[in-house]
Structure 1
Amino acid sequence: MQKTFHFVNGIGLNQRGKRESRRHVMMGKNAGKTIHRPSRLVKRDTSRCERVEAVMSIGAARDTKWDTPLDHATSSIRASSRVSASSFLNISFPVTLTRDYAEVISDSFYCNVALMQACNELFLRGGESSPIAMYYLSKSLAQVRERLESSDALSDATVCIVMSLVTQEQVRNQHAAARIHMDGLARMIELRGGLDSLEGSLPVLLKACKTDIMLALQYEETPRFVRNKMPQIRSLFQSKFKTVDFDSTLTSIQHNNIEPYLFEILGDIINVTSLFNDRQPSQEVDLFSFQEIFVSISYSLIEFDSMQDRKELSTTHASYHVGLTIFMMTFFLQYGRQRIMKFESITQRLRTVIERGLMDDKKDLMLWLMMMGGIWMLDDADVNWLAPKVRCLAQEMGLRSWDEVIIHIIKYPWIHDLHDEPGGIFWDRVHQLAERPVDLNL
């Protein structure tokens, strides 16, 4: 029997026509038979489906159960970026994110993220007029309030959050708000038993001291804490680094007529600079010792300032004090455009001392002070008044090159790896004035 094939045209058929067509096809050997074809849908990428479902679960958990500060940041992500994010989230969160899992992430995480987002809005976008920045800042304060009312009120995490609030208000130059947060921080540490109670959490302790120092220097107010570990640092360095001899340094310093307390601070700083300038592979200073040096010397400089009447302080002492203060701040802070926190009082004190001038036998000291000031104000608009004065002094001293300048200022606190490059940049700016007329009355 010859087999024939019939093609059924199903286009344009109504329901009855389609039913008749199916009946015709199922006649003969196909009658009553169910055709089982492997579905192509079964071969889909199940792992991809699981990833999508996991991401959807994460998004649903975030949107419905709690609000995070990341909502605004992720709302504008493009679809192409979401694919990459899905892969990342699948690795980071292999299980469905629920409230129980999220409790592993403490509330301090959300507060810190809110603070970071507020900083981004403040300094990268709309400034203080940004409603988004104010929103995240209010979220941060609400989180802090909740923590202060809980059993974690005096925990390390809460202390660090308050320190972050102090720093943010300093950057915004909100003195009153920064002082309120700093008073609260001091009270929290007092309730914990004072600074000594934080010895087991040394990073928190040193951060609290640094926050205290920055606020005291920025607004010229009395610090809340006192910490001086230089005696221990001296003993440690003398036993660890055989080339360091603090006692011999004090007797060899060629700086006369300096008040004893300031002289001791100067000796400590010169020893530290010698350690960094003559650094050997085996002479490595750990991070905590580095921070202890900054904290101890900075507190000593602040204490010296509180002990003196600035109006009666000699120009020599004032030059050393403001110069050493700026040195310590360049020792720990960024300079120029990298520094978003302003210290206008220190800049004004520097200008006052330089305009008072020094005796002819103190030209090296004045040159060092001017160069430290130039590094401190590098790329700032206020540095324009200083460059002509440096050029005039260099002409009086017969200095024409940067190498000649280094010879005169290296006897004062100066770290080559830290100060040579910005100092050279500032000197080049001074040297560019050589073709311009100079007013010696500046």
Structure 2
Amino acid sequence: MSEAGRQGKTFAFIDSSKVDRLSQRLVRSHAMKGKNAGKRHHRRSRLDLNRHQLIAKTLSYNSGSVTLNHWPAPSHSVSFPIKTTLQSRDTINKFFAYVTEALLPPQICCSLDKVTSFWWRFLFADQTAHHCTLALLATLNDFFFGSIIVSHEALYHLTRAVSLVNEDLKTTKALSSSTLTVVNFLVVHEIVRESKIEAEIHLEGLRKMVSLRGGLANLEASEDALLVLKFCRTDLDCALSYGTTPCFYRDRMSDVVWYLAAQGFPISQPSIDSNPWFNELSITLQQLVIEVTCIGHSFNMGYKLDPYMFQEFIVSLGYRLVRFHPIGGPEPQLENKVDRACHIGLIVFLTTLFLRRGDRCFMRYEPVAQQLKSVIETGLEAGYSDLTLWLLFIGGVSVLGNLDSAWLKMRIVQAARLLKVTSWKDAQSCLVRFPWINLLHNEAGEAFWKQQEEFP
């Protein structure tokens, strides 16, 4: 057996040996009768949890990968190299019609053909990739449209993909890109299903596999850069969801800035550095605030990033912020209040670029939300009211849920009074001096302003 095959035996991401009888019957039923037979809807229960765990920490997907506005041709006219069902085609259509725009906002992303091509190739690369991708699409469709259980279709494709991966782990394909992508999907699936322990187990497995491939740099040299960016997005998703330390690191922010400059965007120093509190920031955060504000201004002027550069922007910003100071863990909080405020504010801004539905961030990152509330409640002096107002609004369009609405209204009223802000137009003029993307944030921001106007 080759070295890769021997190494593959050490991986045990998918444990299909510990399956109860009910779960076995479910799997056989899906395999023998097809994905639609006997379809039922259950509330989330022990039955659903058993099925979920059966798929051995199912397959998952890195939110920043698939992106497409329009099909190259209608799906019913495409000749598939692997036999598909009408339900599979419906899953693909639904995903590309709705979910991709939540992953890569068309307001600030362009030229999605490269990513579309990547996913078409992967979808039909082999049986493992095919079932993995369909399980991924079905899972994200379920999540995006509000299902709280694993659908029969996702379960079926996941079962097949898991079985194939278990076979691959015993061969020279143990470290193949398809296998790595399946494990990456496992991580994201567990994040979506709020299974922290399983997500961390699979992420550690992915880290080891990437290491055995020579690290991210070697992997990128032999594969599409999008694959590496997918792994990084998953890594960051886990870090923000659980407050853990990332496994990888990547910083190509300078490439993003030069990409915009090549489009004609005039790179200039944003006015945010004129704020009195700006000089209180650490040098690292000063640089980040300037870069992110500058890139945000480019979006407000109509410039767009292609999907690769959009991913590079998110990944670079995320890693630099988490490396500067982790969200959770044993490390003490930052002593400088302004550093704390800007650091968490930039992280919250970052979350607004992840999976979205309409004008709102779809994911809730509890460690991020808790730290944001802590920073605001600790309080900044009156001279920092503009910074406080930005934290409140950027938090409102992302990590602060409906349960925080009364608290949010009260804080917005207080900050607005100190700034003598009396209209949404006034508030917007303040917000755009910070990292704020009008096309993504204005609608929800204005709604928050109208709510606070009704506050007694």
Same fold? TM cut 0.5: yes
Task: Say if 1:401 and 1:322 are closer, same or farther in 2 by CA, change over 3 A.
Answer: same
What is the CA distance between 1:336 and its match in structure 2?
8.5
What is the CA distance between 1:137 and its match in structure 2?
4.9
Report Cα offsets for 1:365-409 as digits up to 9, x if no partner.
Answer: 111111111111466323332111111222333322101111222
Kindly indicate whether the alpha-carbon contact (under 8 Å) linking 2:360 and 2:397 is maintained by their aligned counterparts in 1.
no
Which one of the candidate residues 163, 166, 172 is aligned to 2:184?
163
Matched, 1:216 2:179: no
Which one of the candidate residues 354, 368, 373 is aligned to 1:332?
354
Matched residue, 1:194: 215
Which one of the candidate residues 289, 292, 296 is aligned to 2:316?
296
Matched residue, 1:343: 365
Three-state SS of the structure 1 residue aligned to 2:172 is coil
Which one of the candidate residues 372, 380, 404 is aligned to 1:358?
380
Q: Please give the residue correspondences for 1:14-413 in structure 2 after superposition, counting only pairs within 5 Å.
A: 71-73=34-36, 106-117=127-138, 127=149, 137-199=158-220, 200-241=223-264, 243-245=266-268, 248-249=269-270, 252-254=273-275, 255-279=278-302, 283-306=303-326, 310-334=332-356, 341-377=363-399, 380-413=402-435
Residue identity in the other structure for 1:152: K
Kindly indicate whether the alpha-carbon contact (under 8 Å) linking 2:184 and 2:231 is maintained by their aligned counterparts in 1.
yes
Report Cα offsets for 1:290-337 as digits up to 9, x if no partner.
Answer: 111111111000011149954342221111011111111112332689
Task: Say if 1:153 and 1:256 are closer, same or farther in 2 by CA, change over 3 A.
Answer: same
Rounded Cα–Cα distance in structure 1 between residues aligned with 2:344 and 2:82:
57
What is the CA distance between 1:161 and its match in structure 2?
1.5
Residue identity in the other structure for 1:397: L
Matched residue, 1:43: none
Rounded Cα–Cα distance in structure 2 between residues aligned with 1:232 and 1:120:
32
User: Root-mean-square deviation (CA), in Å?
Assistant: 3.7
Rounded Cα–Cα distance in structure 1 between residues aligned with 2:241 and 2:293:
25
Instruction: State which structure, 1 or 2, has the greater radius of gyration over its C-alpha atoms.
Output: 1
Rounded Cα–Cα distance in structure 1 between residues aligned with 2:153 and 2:195:
18
Kindly indicate whether the alpha-carbon contact (under 8 Å) linking 2:132 and 2:182 is maintained by their aligned counterparts in 1.
yes
Which one of the candidate residues 428, 432, 438 is aligned to 1:416?
438
Bigger relative CO (Cα 8 Å, ≥ 6 apart): 2
Rounded Cα–Cα distance in structure 2 between residues aligned with 1:354 and 1:335:
26
Residue identity in the other structure for 1:291: Q
Percent sequence identity over aligned pairs:
29
Kindly indicate whether the alpha-carbon contact (under 8 Å) linking 1:218 and 1:344 is maintained by their aligned counterparts in 2.
yes
Kindly indicate whether the alpha-carbon contact (under 8 Å) linking 2:368 and 2:399 is maintained by their aligned counterparts in 1.
no
Residue identity in the other structure for 1:297: L
Structure 1 window deviating more from structure 2 (152-161 vs 315-324): it is 152-161
Kindly indicate whether the alpha-carbon contact (under 8 Å) linking 2:348 and 2:399 is maintained by their aligned counterparts in 1.
no
Rounded Cα–Cα distance in structure 2 between residues aligned with 1:125 and 1:330:
22
What is the CA distance between 1:258 and its match in structure 2?
0.6
Residue identity in the other structure for 1:366: T
Task: Say if 1:198 and 1:93 are closer, same or farther in 2 by CA, change over 3 A.
Answer: closer
Rounded Cα–Cα distance in structure 2 between residues aligned with 1:425 and 1:222:
35
Kindly indicate whether the alpha-carbon contact (under 8 Å) linking 1:107 and 1:143 is maintained by their aligned counterparts in 2.
yes
Task: Say if 1:390 and 1:146 are closer, same or farther in 2 by CA, change over 3 A.
Answer: same
TM-score, length-scaled by structure 1: 0.69
